[in-house]
Amino acid sequence: MSELFKYDDEREAASAAKVRALEALLIEKGVLGSDSVDTVLGHFETVAGPFNGARIVARAWVDPEFKQFLIEDTPKAIATMDLPQGMDGAEGEHMAAVANGDGVHNLIICTLCSCYPWPVLGLPPYWYKDPVFRARGVREPRAVLREFGVPVAADTEVKVWDSSAQIRWFVVPERPAGTDGMSETALAALVTPEAMMGVALVPSPSSTSLAAG
């Protein structure tokens, strides 16, 4: 991965420190209550986050009819699952799914700002908002994917989907090899937000075990 998109511990740490300082100041000035902060954090820990998207993807992997329904009418398909309330609330309006498969790979960007389907992917990473990523994602998606460690074959079509306030896209990545017989819960544990953005592939359980070892 290029330095532009490489995970940056120092930058993340600095951002986290600024957030904590701002939070403390707002609480001190009475603008924000500590209970409000806890409510927001709790929302993203239990209601809106990539754990929802992972469950949706896992269901699509094991149920072809659901997968087709998800692609044709994403909100209605999601509504059939036992997921937290508010999946179509703030930042989740008009969500739509696209699926990777033979001969096609999908990439999600937002050329205008950072529109993102928070209910299924959580909060967007800092690089998703980067103007360079947004511009290059449109102009040279294959190069961007290569830098993320996702080389795309020459005969594979790369489709770039531009999220906006009117429609917020996410990807159903391909099911990895070596997952036959796995439960939906186990499959969901393999799915990452990056895979649902199209900038990563879902690793097989064997490769995950090797990396952990």
Supply the residues annotated as catalytic. 110, 113-115
- Is 183 annotated in some ligand binding site? no
- The answer for residues whose C-beta is within 8 angstroms of residue 118's C-beta and 6 or more apart is 48, 90, 91, 92, 124
- Is 2 annotated in some ligand binding site? no
Give the pairing of strands 168-172 and 95-99.
Answer: parallel
Q: Which residue in 189, 198, 44 sits closest to 120, CA to CA?
A: 44
Q: Which residue in 163, 140, 162 sits closest to 152, CA to CA?
A: 140
- Is 206 annotated in some ligand binding site? no
Do the beta carbons of residue 53 and residue 121 sit within 8 Å?
yes
- Is 209 annotated in some ligand binding site? no
Annotated binding site for Fe(3+): 110, 113-115
Binding residues: 110, 113-115
